[in-house]
Amino acid sequence: MKKINKKKVFFVSIISLISICLIFYFIFTYFSNPIQPRIVHKKHKNTSYPTVSFVAVGDNIIHENVYQYAYKQGNNETYNFKPCYQNIKEYISNHDLAYVNQETLIAGDQYGIHGYPNFNSPEALINDLEDTGFNMVSSATNHSMDLGKDALIASSRIWKQHSNILFSGLYENQEDRQTTKVIEKNGIRFSFLAYTFGVNESTNYKSIQRQLKTYPYILGQLDKEQIKEDVTKAKAESDVVIVAVHWGKEGHSEISDLQHEYANYFASLGVDVVIGNHPHLIQPIEKIDHTLVVYSLGNFLSTMKDAYNQLEGMISFNFVKKENEISIENIQYIPLINHFNDDIVTIYPLKDYTDQLCNQHSILKDQNDIINEFKKYVKQVINNKDIEVIL
């Protein structure tokens, strides 16, 4: 019989025991520690949507007192309108798109500078509007033909020289009339159309009517067939259609039948925003289907004499593009005061307007507690839960 090597057996036993211990150690370690889940880094959905901020004001009316003040600010050598807008410049310039209705014609200084009733405003005004931050201007108004066809066409040409401003309402020729006015901001394309109910009757009214009949393309007018053609074309070329419209009755806060009729018509065509002007008083804002209708923001700069002509509106909101749909968000309404006397013509936000300033106003100084009256009136007119009124 082969003799057993005791040392070898002992050695193998020790190795086996150690192996068994190691096996039990690893088994115990494995099951005594919970299995850690694999970390998955989820890619968060981008919630930053293309957004364009927009602000709009009312009628920029360059009465004689206005341009005389601007001439003094230019040391009686040139016209400087910047001081007129300095108190609201920060509101205007902080937006991607800033709209104003240029009520009075700018046909060129060679036509002479005139106030009411047949206006022609200084060319320097355009640069000062641009400096304030305005880049969207309409000029289809009842004063568009104050100096006749040639002056209207001259105005259109002057505005064309300012490539940073999207201008609409007056047209040089048929080709110009058929070219949709489009601007792109932050990946969103905007079309801009402008119309007026008509032009002022004057001593040469028959001649003006003949000119408009012969050259209907020079002025955007309220004609449903033409409007439908324009809007259809604009919608094909842009994401958003904005319409400026001269309508309503001067000195009336009530919305006229014509305003109601065309507001609904614009809505039926799918216009996104309608900015109204001409009544010289603030009027309500409403949503018709998906169309935001601002019936009137009143005046912007003027020296009109009625107390409520001095109360004006400024509206701002954001266009937000979400999955190829445009929404209007964050609507704010900031009332303004047109402030003037023999030494100054300027504009203030109502929230910054003091009793001391009021006592210096040519018209408002005689109105008892007018600031609080204005604030109450704004709340009555802009009675819309979707609009934040800044008082």
Domains and CATH numbers, the chain: 52-389 (3.60.21.10)
Strand 273-277 and strand 240-246: the pairing is parallel
Strand 51-60 and strand 299-301: the pairing is parallel
pLDDT for res 42 = 32
pLDDT for res 202 = 78
Give the bridge partners for 340, in sequence order: 345
Taking the CB of residue 296, how many other CB atoms lie within 10 A of it? 28
pLDDT for res 20 = 58
Taking the CB of residue 124, how many other CB atoms lie within 10 A of it? 19
What gap in Å lies between CA 39 and CA 186, rounded to an integer?
37
pLDDT for res 221 = 98
What gap in Å lies between CA 199 and CA 137, rounded to an integer?
18
What gap in Å lies between CA 81 and CA 65, rounded to an integer?
12
Which residues does the chain have with pLDDT short of 50? 1-4, 6, 9, 12, 26-46
What gap in Å lies between CA 214 and CA 201, rounded to an integer?
18
What element of type H or E holds 25?
helix 6-32
Interior CA angle at 85 toward 108 and 68, to 5°? Answer: 50
pLDDT for res 41 = 30
- For residue 12, give the amino acid letter: V
- pTM, full prediction: 0.87
pLDDT for res 1 = 43
pLDDT for res 5 = 52
